[in-house]
Amino acid sequence: MNEITLISVISLGSLGAIAAVVLYMVAQKFKVIEDPRIDVVSDLLPGANCGGCGYAGCRALAEEIVKKESMDGMNCPPGGNEAMKEIASALGLETTEQDPTIAVVRCSGSKEHAPPKVQYEGAMTCAFSHSLFAGEGGCPHGCLGCGDCVESCDFDAIYMDETTGLPIVKDNCVSCGACVTACPRNIIEIRKRGKKDRRIFVSCINQEKGGIARKNCKVACIGCGKCVKECKFDAIVFENNLAYIDYNKCTLCRKCPPVCPTNAIHELNFPPKKNRPAAKTETTNA
């Protein structure tokens, strides 16, 4: 009995020892030398793997930062400037501060403003209904309302408003850009968040002539150009019957929203104006 135990202990033990030696040698031979800084950077990133930086995931961004030893043009939207600063100080690099951004839905063609003329019953994906027809409201540029953007969001930062049928971006948006790619009509844009989250933008991307645009939607940009004349900072570009506010030049002076005849220019998170109460927007919207 004792002998059997002894033999098995010795044989298994020596087998184990041989295996250990082989494994050690193999591990030495095929050793992957990885820069330890990659792990450091990787730990400092939020780990959301959203792809907002333009790389395949957080690890890929970390590898790129360490490989290039510079952080030019690299930005982590969910981590923001804080994460980038921490990485910069950990690696001894320099980073430029980026303005915080947010996704903005540039369409207000709700069921009220662009009444449905036809009814869509097919598969509820924007990609398909975009390939099929112009949309229930008839605007070939407007929101289709099937919610591809909501589905694409990893952060639960966008939802469909039941009454208007339009998506609404919540404040926790990290501007990763997933919804921008998901939208087949390029309605969603990443814009500067602005001071105190204040933003002014043209909430329409319709490039048709005014009359045609207005026929389908009451709040479409009709390309009248009034806002362009009103703007003293050359922030509004006018192209293809459509006004576009450049967020880098816009000073948030709030001169353009009141002159827009269709209320296509939206202002967000501003306090109500003292001399002109909010009644104006209500009456024209109704």
Partner 1 sequence: MKTFKLGGVHPPENKISKQAAIQELPVPETVSIPISQHLGVPANPVVKKGDTVKTGQLIAKGEAFISANIHASVSGTVQKVDNVPDTSGYRRKAIIIKTEGDQWEEGIDQSKDLIKECGLSAEEIVKKINEKGIVGMGGATFPSHVKLMVPQGGKAEYLIINGVECEPYLTSDHRLMLEKAEEILTGIRIQMKALHVEKAIIGIENNKPDAIAHIRKLLPDYPGVSVQPLEVKYPQGAEKQLIKALINREVPSGKLPIEVGCVVHNVGTAYAVYEAVQKNKPLIERVVTITGKSLKQPSNFLTRIGTPVSTLIEAAGGMPEDTGKVVNGGPMMGKALSNLESPVTKGTSGVLLFSKQESHRKVVHNCIRCSRCTGICPMGLEPYLLALLADHHRYEDCEDNHIMDCMECGSCLYICPSGRPLLDHIRNGKAETGKMIRSRSQ
Distance CA 12, CA 18 (A): 10
Stretch of 83-91, 97-105, 116-124, 230-238 contacting partner 1, by CB under 8 A? 116-124
| By CB under 8 A, residue 118 contacts partner 1 | yes
Q: Which stretch binds partner 1 (CB under 8 A): 16-24, 33-41, 88-96, 130-138?
A: 130-138
* 175, 190 contact by CB (below 8 A): yes
Query: Residues 133, 161, 225, 285: which binds partner 1 (CB under 8 A)?
Result: 133
Number of amino acids touching partner 1 (CB under 8 A): 17
Q: Does 49 bind partner 1 (CB under 8 A)?
A: no
Among the residues of the chain, which ranges form H helices? 2-29, 36-44, 58-68, 80-91, 126-132, 148-152, 178-182, 210-216, 226-230, 256-259, 279-285
Q: Is 240 in the site for partner 1 (CB under 8 A)?
A: no
Only segment of 34-42, 101-109, 114-122, 268-276 that touches partner 1 (CB under 8 A): 114-122
Find the distance separating the first CA and the last CA of the chain, reported in whole Å: 97
19 binds partner 1 (CB under 8 A): no
For the beta carbon of residue 273, count every other beta carbon within 10 angstroms.
13
Greatest alpha-carbon span in the chain:
103
Residue 123 binding partner 1, by CB under 8 A: yes
Does 5 contact partner 1 by CB under 8 A? Answer: no
6 counts as binding partner 1 under rule CB under 8 A: no
- Answer yes or no whether residue 134 interacts with partner 1 by CB under 8 A: yes
d(CA 67, CA 91): 12
Q: How many residues does the chain have?
A: 286
Span 173-212, contacts to partner 1 by CB under 8 A:
208, 212
Stretch that binds partner 1, among 22-30, 39-47, 120-128, 263-271 (CB under 8 A): 120-128
Nearer to partner 1, 24 or 133 (CB): 133
Cβ atoms of residues 104 and 199 within 8 Å: yes
Q: Residue 146 and residue 126: Cα distance in Å, rounded?
A: 5
H/E element, 105: strand 101-105
Contact residues for partner 1, defined by CB under 8 A? 117-118, 121-123, 125, 127-128, 131-135, 138, 140, 208, 212
